[in-house]
Amino acid sequence: MQKANRHIYTVSEITQAIKGLLESSIGEIWLEGEISNFKAAASGHFYFSLKDQNSIILAAMFAGANKGLKFKLEDGLAVICFGKVDVYGPRGQYQIIVEQIEPKGLGARQLAFEQLKKKLAQEGLFDLGHKRPLPQMPFSAGIVTSVKGAAVRDIMQILKKGAPCVDLVLRSVRVQGETAAVEIAQAIEDLNNFGKLDLIIVSRGGGSTEDLWSFNEEIVARAIYNSKLPVVSAVGHQINTTLSDLVADVFVETPSAAAKIIVDKKNALIAQLAGFKHELDFSMNNTISDLENRLTAFTHMLKSPLDRLREKQQQADELFEELNYNMRHLLEFALERRNSLVHRLEALSPLSILSRGYSLSMLIPEGRIAKDISQIKLGDKIKTVLHKGAFISLVQEVFNDEGKAGI
């Protein structure tokens, strides 16, 4: 090529030329890929790469486009993007400016739900240790729901019939729509500040996933978690489980079930009080019976002085008769013993022996009883005592044990 015909481009010119070609030949497109190297700048803009097995392209999603994004962008997420191919002049890099983005194979709302659920679980909002027990008997309850919905009518009808003693404070809110989540969260805070309630019921009737989405918003979940009062979540039917259900202290499937909890607690309290009354009646009856018995015994102790004197006189008479009987018995016993001793003494008396034909000899004048022939000699004077009478004799002859005459 001759030097006179050549055109020398500047870097900016060629970059603009390439940009023009890309915009004219490709323009706006839908692009599928996996996010990598995601970064959220302080300005609010998102920068990341989209890749497949063989290639990679840079991507930018500015703050105006990502402001209403329902789910969180993160590395590894497969997405489908809508935007236009562009060239970033300062670096000469081509990229896609993303205007819309959605997760591949999973709806944006469902993905947002799963991501927020995981985040709140990691923070401990679903932990059982944080859940507060309901009061034994709630006498006042706050209700967060729409005044126009069927939920509030169901709750009020059941409580009016089964627990009319419970006071209700209704905080009406929108239960679906863009502003519903903010209103529900504010209502929970307002009822906490009201200061005269025992618990809060957050409720609405059934509906589609989109209808119930306000109860999946982070602001509502945190308001329930931060509530000082126990919260019962009664949102939708059993096929629906919202983040509000997972955070609440008690989760029931319908508004009617929430009201029934209070009715059941009232019935349980009445049954418990009836049991206490029965125990108290039984205890009081036993106490009264015991006091009556003690009073009767005490009354017997408080007889008139005359009655007590007569009673003592009777006791004295009985004691006197008993004493006489005992004395007679003792005298009779003593007499019998005396007679027995007399008979024994009489049997041992020398006089008794003499009456059987024996005699007693005594030396005169000593008066000594002669027990042995050796005590007597010839010429001794002896007094012999018979059973009847006595006589004196002079010893003329003495015999020994062998019958021989002594000297």
Give the lowest-confidence range in 59-68, 147-156, 341-350.
341-350
CA distance 66 to 100: 8
Q: What is the mean pLDDT of residues 127-144?
A: 90
Give the lowest-confidence range in 92-96, 117-121, 292-296, 354-358.
354-358
DSSP secondary structure string, 246-304? Answer: HHSSEE-SSHHHHHHHHHHHHHHHHHHHHHHHHHHHHHHHHHHHHHHHHHHHHHHHT--
Pairing of strands 46-51, 28-40: antiparallel
Q: What is the mean pLDDT of residues 281-297?
A: 84
Alpha-helical (H) ranges within 146-216 are 150-162, 180-194
Of 356 and 327, which is predicted with more confidence? 327
Give the lowest-confidence range in 152-156, 216-220, 221-225, 266-270.
266-270
Give the lowest-confidence range in 123-127, 163-167, 291-295, 342-346.
342-346
For residue 10, give both structure tokens. 């500047």
**Cα 275–Cα 277–Cα 280 angle in degrees, nearest 5:** 110
pLDDT band at 226 (very low <50, low <70, confident <90, very high): very high
CA distance 396 to 377: 9
Range with the largest mean pLDDT of 10-14, 230-234, 253-257, 286-290: 230-234
CA distance 389 to 394: 17
* Mean per-residue pLDDT of the chain: 83
State pTM to two decimals: 0.51
- Order of strands across the sheet that contains 199-204: 167-172, 140-145, 199-204, 231-235, 250-251
- Contact of 137 with 269, CB cutoff 8 Å: yes
What was the pLDDT predicted at 184? 94
CA 216 to mean position of chain CA atoms: 35
**Contacts with 252 (C-beta within 8 Å, 6 or more apart), sequence order:** 232, 233, 234, 258, 261
List, for residues 95-123, the tens digit of each pLDDT value: 888 888 888 765 566 777 778 888 899 99
By three-state DSSP, how is residue 226 classified?
coil
Range with the largest mean pLDDT of 110-124, 289-303, 346-360: 110-124
For residue 276, give both structure tokens. 């206490």
Q: Is the dihedral of CA 200, 205, 208, 214 positive or negative?
A: negative
Domains annotated for the chain, with CATH where assigned, are 11-105 (2.40.50.140), 138-267 (3.40.50.2300), 349-407 (no CATH)
- Contact of 32 with 82, CB cutoff 8 Å: no
Bridge partners for 28 per DSSP: 84
